[in-house]
Amino acid sequence: MQRTLVLAKPDAVQRGLIGELVSRIERRGLRIVGIKMMRVSEDLGRRHYAAHVDKPFFPGLLKFITSGPIVAMVVEGPNAVELVRNLMGATNPKNAAPGTVRGDLAVSVGPNLIHGSDSPESAEREVALFFAKSEILDYPRDIDRWVIE
Ligand code: DAT
Ligand code: MG
């Protein structure tokens, strides 16, 4: 069982695509065990994208990710990191396959809708950056026991 950090980026929130992203994750069979709407501070943005601080696109990336509310999620399941990466599609939507979030719904490598951790190590680091332990809620799939006949 693996956990990964997913962000519905500011463009996803502004375009009303939170549900679309959540739906694709849930329909795949992954479980959302943490979710919140929040604003990314400049400090959090820098830490989250620490690997990119020296890239030419970093200033724009930081401006974008802090530009409006996002929805952060902790997503759990077998191979959650790889499954989420696959459903996201390529970083640049122009290369993203149809059927993926970016291939179906995005046109630009700036506002490309979704973030997903790129390795189990990144996932652990990023989940800890965005979520307190108390904000991650594991739960059993035992809803049938509440059915009244
Ligand atoms: P991903 O989001 O697919 O994990 P990444 O970690 O390489 O991609 O980069 C983080 C974000 O930075 C990406 O979602 C969009 C932006 N970005 C990446 N490469 C870029 C480029 N060449 N020009 C502009 N923005 C870029
Ligand atoms: Mg990345």
**Pocket mutation for ligand 1, best pick of 7, 53, 57 (most atoms within 8 Å of C-beta):** 57
Q: Which residue, 106, 85, 6, 91, is CA-closest to 55? A: 91
Atom 17 of ligand 1, nearest CA residue: 109
Which residues neighbour 120 within 8 Å (Cβ) at sequence distance 6 or greater? 2, 81
**Is 11's pLDDT higher than 90?**
yes
Three-point CA angle 91, 76, 43, nearest 5°: 55
Residue 112 Cβ contacting ligand 1 at under 6 Å = yes
Distances (CA, A) of 139 to 33, 34, 77, 90, 130: 8, 11, 13, 32, 20
pTM of the shown model: 0.97
The whole-number pLDDT of residue 129 equals: 98
The whole-number pLDDT of residue 145 equals: 95
Q: Which of 22-26, 83-87, 116-120, 142-146 is predicted least confidently?
A: 142-146
How many other CB atoms are there within 10 angstroms of residue 78's CB atom? 10
**Is 70's pLDDT higher than 90?**
yes
**Is 80's pLDDT higher than 90?**
yes
The whole-number pLDDT of residue 99 equals: 98
Mean pLDDT (the chain) is 98
What Rg do the C-alpha atoms of the chain give, in angstroms? 16
